[in-house]
């Protein structure tokens, strides 16, 4: 699987590329916020009911109760913007959250309904699968998938199916989707076990994994930064020094 393409990504609407404004003044004390604005913009129980995309989209997926809503709220530094599911498996809609980053770029985080809830009926599973397939294979703005797995459970067959689905040929043309694997609830393991558990997942899948916990704030920023880097959003570009001798380049 290769998901590391660093090509420049453009807004799906076909108009301006996502803006890369200047750095704000660095604050000497508090770390700058990851996002300056985040709001729920739409929800739908069928992929075709979603409004047309306005920005690149990053989808978050995982088994029910994996900690998806908590992770999204932590990344967005909001307490309850993304609703946590009181009853596992009860959220059966796709929700879009439009976000403005600290450097002023815009992107949309997409909360996909959780899977693997044992008490679901056959019809409910089929609905879920149609909804997820409709989104993952048809949405032209989908730029990254953050796949969440509980560190104590490891990768389950449903997680693998999801990765296979997103790796399969989409029904609409779009750039390749970046995959970020995240092991959640890291705090449930002791400090020494955490690293080993993440390394084990990396060995098993040959993919890089990010450890995450709502309780370990030091795990939040690296995931956010990696996500923006994979999307080529808010990346500082070194200013190339003009070549000596008047700008002639060899070619």
Which positions lie near ligand GDP, rule CB under 6 A?
62, 64-70, 84-85, 114, 184-185, 187-188, 213-215
Q: Which is nearer to ligand GDP, 164 or 215 (CB)?
A: 215
**Measured from the CB of residue 68, what is the shortest distance to ligand GDP in angstroms?**
3
Taking CA atoms, 28 is separated from 31, 179, 245, in Å, by 8, 34, 40
CB of 169 to ligand GDP, least distance (A): 28
- Report in angstroms how near the CB of residue 7 gets to ligand GDP at its nearest: 31
Which of 140, 132, 130, 131 has its CA nearest to residue 172? 140
Shortest gap between Cβ of 112 and ligand GDP (angstroms)? 10
> Whose Cβ is closer to ligand GDP: residue 187's or residue 202's?
187
Nearer to ligand GDP, 185 or 230 (CB): 185
**Residues whose CB is less than 8 angstroms from the CB of residue 204 and which lie 6 or more positions away in sequence, other chains included:** 154, 155
Nearer to ligand GDP, 12 or 114 (CB): 114
- And the tokens for 248? 């002639």
Concatenating the DSSP letter of every residue in the chain gives -----------TTSSSPPP--PPPPPPSSSPPPSEEEEEEEEEESSGGGSPPPSS-EEEEEEBTTSSHHHHHHHHHT-SSSSPP-SSTT---SEEEEEEEETTS-EEEEEEPPPB--TT--HHHHHHHHHHHHHHHHH-TTEEEEEEEEETTT---HHHHHHHHHHHSPPSS--PPPEEEEEEE-GGGS-HHHHHHHHHHHHHHHTS-EEE--TT-GGGHHHHHHHHHHHHT-SPPPPPPPPPTTTT----
Nearest distance from C-beta of residue 76 to ligand GDP, angstroms: 13
Closest CB to ligand GDP among residues 114, 134 = 114
Nearest distance in Å: CB 156, ligand GDP: 14
Closest approach of Cβ 207 to ligand GDP, in Å? Answer: 20
With respect to ligand GDP, which residue has the nearer C-beta, 11 or 145? 145
State which residue, 65 or 108, has the beta carbon closest to ligand GDP.
Answer: 65
């Amino acid at each position: 699987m290769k998901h590391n393409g660093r090509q420049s990504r453009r807004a799906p609407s076909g108009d301006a590329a996502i803006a890369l404004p200047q750095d704000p003044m660095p604050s000497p004390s508090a770390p700058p916020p990851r996002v300056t604005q985040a709001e729920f913009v739409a929800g739908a129980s069928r992929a075709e009911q979603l409004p047309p995309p306005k920005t690149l989209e990053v989808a978050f997926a995982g088994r029910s109760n994996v900690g998806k809503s908590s992770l999204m709220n932590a990344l967005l530094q909001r307490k309850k913007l993304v609703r946590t599911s009181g009853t596992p498996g009860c959220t059966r809609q796709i929700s879009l959250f439009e976000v403005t980053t600290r450097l002023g770029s815009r992107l949309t985080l997409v909360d996909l309904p959780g899977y693997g809830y044992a008490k679901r009926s056959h019809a409910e599973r089929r609905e879920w699968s149609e909804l997820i397939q409709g989104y993952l294979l048809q949405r032209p703005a989908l730029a990254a998938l953050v796949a969440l797995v509980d560190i104590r459970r490891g990768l389950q067959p449903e997680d693998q199916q999801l990765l296979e689905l997103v790796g399969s040929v989409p029904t609409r043309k779009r750039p390749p989707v970046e995959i970020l694997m995240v092991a959640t609830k890291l705090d449930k393991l002791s400090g020494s076990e955490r690293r080993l558990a993440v390394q084990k997942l990396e060995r098993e899948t040959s993919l890089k994994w990010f450890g995450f916990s709502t309780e370990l704030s030091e795990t939040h920023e690296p995931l956010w930064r990696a996500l923006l880097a994979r999307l080529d959003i808010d990346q500082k570009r070194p200013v190339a020094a003009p070549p000596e001798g008047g700008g002639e380049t060899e070619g």
